[in-house]
Amino acid sequence: MADFFIKLDGLTVKRGEKEILKDIHLTIGKNEQWAVAGASGSGKTTLAHTLAGKHFYTGKLQFSTNISSTDIVVVDQQHHFKNLSNISQFYYQQRYNASDAEDSITVEMLLQLSNPAGKRIVCGIETSVLPQKLHIDQLLQKPLIQLSNGENKRLQIATAVLHEPKLLILDNPYIGLDSEGRKMLSAILNTLSKAGVKLLLISSTPDLPECITHISLLEKGRLITTDRKTFTTGAWNNQQKFNINRQLLHHLKPGYTHSFEFAIRMRQVEIQYGNKKILSNINWEVRRGERWSISGPNGAGKSTLLSLVTGDNTKAYSNEIYLFDKKRGSGESIWDIKKNIGYVSPEMHVFFDYTATVFETVASGIFDSIGLFRHVNGQQREQVLQWLSLLQLQQLEGKLLSRLSAGEQRLVLLARALVKNPPLLILDEPCQGLDAVHIQQFREIIDDICHTFNTTLLYVSHYKEEIPSCVTKFLILENGSAREAAGL
């Protein structure tokens, strides 16, 4: 009997003429649990999908036992879900409209569909307690489309476990989770490991459960293997640091359309869906030029709060909310609001048009559309090219968004949020999937933009180290209530 579980011998994966994975040699023992680390765009997700049979490859890929594609489950970095008609026809704002969301299946329905045989125990865990272990037991009646990013991540893992995989591959499973959620995930992965489930974690951050014994580092498609004891988290940071073109940044024009004193004012804001109160008695003011951190556990109401500002939530009209000194519902259109805002979020990433090129994706930010449907004039084209150059994405200009790594896609969507150089930037977990070098580069750019143009900033992150140094004000959400704090 073979003494390995997986063996890769000279495995190479090409996309067109480009080699994504180059001559990979790796042996994973039967009693070993592995993680694959590396910078954004290094080939980590391609490796995961190749093991699951989703990419053509040359070289050899062997499993020690007879494993079919149904025995390998990949929990992708981005979640995807379908409606009751079993098709994906959701739109971004639908998650905030209760009547429209009725076509979405609920958490409980998805769990039942993932366990059609009604098995009592899967992977050593009783199915009756699985929702509780993953903290989704309070979400069973909630439509999938209304879940927060972190709630969706926990549900992804629950459905993967219900499929009883022989190999469970998790692509950046910790991103989007709050600190408690990360501890909880580590605990469940340790439990799965003890139950005999083979794990492979794909990671761009140092978060790893104790059960991981070995780590491979991918660098530009090539693999360096090591054991956990000799691996240092600094290996995530060994990319060459980017040099920000500050001269170009300072020549950019601000996208102000009018002056204002307050970007946001909310008076006793209440948001409720059915019997569930999401936001309760929110009183909050954001003056022009202030930079705020918005924090709180998964499901605390952060995304709902931001949706009231971006114009995506119709419940703004039933509350006393002022944006750029004008009361919502006083005749302004959603486009009047959006033209002063640059916005990125994990949810927007899910709904974006992946058939668009990088240039088209960034250019769509000028018109606040999900996809480019208008002609770009010469001045606007130069505007897009400047931001692509600033984020060192110019070499990807003509590539399809779908052909990029998740980290590269996120950088492109960041460029889309910045392309107007708007007076208000709303960055909801903007660094998900980025490696440490790109995170530091992005923090410096945001600091420079805010100081140069007096930009107002709302920044959401579960990681303190991701928050730009320009942030001086802190709003903490918990159970739908908000309080201002001196710091995190």
pLDDT for position 89: 45
Is residue 419 a contact partner of residue 363, using CB atoms and an 8 Å limit? yes
Q: Are residues 52 and 90 in the same domain?
A: yes
Rounded (10°) angle between helices 406-418 and 378-390: 130
Per DSSP, which regions of 256-373 are E strands?
262-273, 276-287, 291-295, 320-323, 326-327, 341-344
Q: Are residues 183 and 283 in the same domain?
A: no
Q: What is the DSSP string of 215-268?
A: EEEEETTEEEEEEGGG--GGGGG-SPPPPP-HHHHHTSPP--SS--SEEEEEEE
Determine the Cα angle at 353 with ends 445 and 98, to 5°: 100
Which of 34-38, 45-49, 179-183 shows the lowest per-residue confidence on average (mean pLDDT)?
179-183
CB atoms within 10 A of CB 477: 21
Grade residue 269 by pLDDT with cuts at 50, 70 and 90.
Answer: very high
- The residue with tokens 């392309």 is 419
pLDDT for position 91: 42
Grade residue 34 by pLDDT with cuts at 50, 70 and 90.
Answer: very high
One-letter amino acid for residue 448 of the chain:
D
Grade residue 94 by pLDDT with cuts at 50, 70 and 90.
Answer: very low
Per DSSP, helices labelled H in 130-221 are 130-133, 149-162, 179-194
Beta-carbon contacts of 336 under 8 Å, excluding residues fewer than 6 positions away, are none
The model carries a pTM of: 0.79
* Between 385 and 105, residue with greater pLDDT: 385
Is residue 417 a contact partner of residue 365, using CB atoms and an 8 Å limit? yes
Spatial distance between the Cα atoms of 371 and 354, rounded to a whole number of angstroms: 9
pLDDT for position 484: 92
Q: Are residues 179 and 321 in the same domain?
A: no
Grade residue 419 by pLDDT with cuts at 50, 70 and 90.
Answer: very high
User: What value does the mean pLDDT of the chain take?
Assistant: 84
Is residue 448 a contact partner of residue 270, using CB atoms and an 8 Å limit? no
Question: In the predicted model, what is the mean pLDDT of residues 175-201?
Answer: 85
Alpha-carbon separation of residue 175 from 182, 184, 185, 241, 287 (angstroms): 9, 13, 11, 23, 30
Q: Are residues 310 and 357 in the same domain?
A: yes
Spatial distance between the Cα atoms of 335 and 5, rounded to a whole number of angstroms: 55
Query: Tell me: the pLDDT tens digits for 370-393?
Result: 777 788 899 999 999 999 988 888
Is residue 264 a contact partner of residue 285, using CB atoms and an 8 Å limit? yes
Spatial distance between the Cα atoms of 70 and 415, rounded to a whole number of angstroms: 38
Spatial distance between the Cα atoms of 441 and 437, rounded to a whole number of angstroms: 6
Query: Tell me: the pLDDT tens digits for 38-76?
Result: 877 788 889 999 998 889 999 999 988 777 777 899 998
pLDDT for position 467: 94
Alpha-carbon separation of residue 323 from 17, 224, 329, 388, 417 (angstroms): 49, 51, 10, 29, 18
Spatial distance between the Cα atoms of 122 and 171, rounded to a whole number of angstroms: 21
On the 0-12 / 13-18 / 19+ scale of CB atoms within 10 A, 200 is buried
Q: Are residues 20 and 107 in the same domain?
A: yes
* Between 243 and 207, residue with greater pLDDT: 207
Which of 94-98, 99-103, 136-140, 406-410 shows the lowest per-residue confidence on average (mean pLDDT)?
94-98
Question: In the predicted model, what is the mean pLDDT of residues 178-206?
Answer: 84
Q: Are residues 219 and 318 in the same domain?
A: no
pLDDT for position 268: 95
CA nearest 349: which of 397, 412, 293, 396? 412
CB atoms within 10 A of CB 281: 13
pLDDT for position 180: 82
Highest mean pLDDT: which range of 1-10, 193-202, 368-377: 193-202
Query: Tell me: the pLDDT tens digits for 146-162?
Result: 777 678 888 888 899 89
Question: In the predicted model, what is the mean pLDDT of residues 327-332?
Answer: 84
Residue 241 predicted with pLDDT over 60? no
pLDDT for position 4: 80
Q: Are residues 265 and 214 in the same domain?
A: no
Determine the length of the chain.
488
Residue 409 predicted with pLDDT over 70? yes
Grade residue 170 by pLDDT with cuts at 50, 70 and 90.
Answer: very high
One-letter amino acid for residue 250 of the chain:
H
Query: Tell me: the pLDDT tens digits for 421-471?
Result: 899 999 998 888 777 778 888 898 899 889 988 999 999 998 888 999 999
Percentage of the chain beyond pLDDT 90 is 33
Q: Among 217, 237, 257, where does a domain finish? A: 237
Question: In the predicted model, what is the mean pLDDT of residues 407-423?
Answer: 88
Residue 88 predicted with pLDDT over 60? no
Residue 361 predicted with pLDDT over 60? yes
Q: Are residues 183 and 305 in the same domain?
A: no
Percentage of the chain beyond pLDDT 70 is 89
- The residue with tokens 């250019």 is 363
Q: Among 184, 204, 237, where does a domain finish? A: 237
Give 165's DSSP letter: -
- The residue with tokens 């004193």 is 261
Q: What is the domain-level CATH number for residue 380?
A: 3.40.50.300
Spatial distance between the Cα atoms of 410 and 416, rounded to a whole number of angstroms: 10
Give 56's DSSP letter: -
Highest mean pLDDT: which range of 7-21, 191-205, 221-235, 399-413: 7-21
Q: Which pair of tokens denotes residue 305?
A: 């709060």
Is residue 188 a contact partner of residue 157, using CB atoms and an 8 Å limit? yes
Spatial distance between the Cα atoms of 91 and 371, rounded to a whole number of angstroms: 12
Spatial distance between the Cα atoms of 391 and 252, rounded to a whole number of angstroms: 14
Grade residue 103 by pLDDT with cuts at 50, 70 and 90.
Answer: low
Q: Are residues 196 and 250 in the same domain?
A: no
Spatial distance between the Cα atoms of 195 and 122, rounded to a whole number of angstroms: 9
Q: Are residues 55 and 201 in the same domain?
A: yes
Spatial distance between the Cα atoms of 241 and 441, rounded to a whole number of angstroms: 8
Query: Tell me: the pLDDT tens digits for 282-329?
Result: 999 999 999 999 999 888 899 899 999 998 888 888 899 999 999 998
Parent domain of 331: 246-485
Q: Are residues 350 and 325 in the same domain?
A: yes
- The residue with tokens 């990360």 is 182
Query: Phi and psi (nearest 5°) for 315?
Result: -70, -10
Question: How many domains are contained in the chain?
Answer: 2
Question: In the predicted model, what is the mean pLDDT of residues 110-115?
Answer: 90
Q: Among 205, 237, 269, where does a domain finish? A: 237
Q: Which pair of tokens denotes residue 31?
A: 């009693």
Q: Are residues 23 and 72 in the same domain?
A: yes
Question: In the predicted model, what is the mean pLDDT of residues 122-132?
Answer: 84
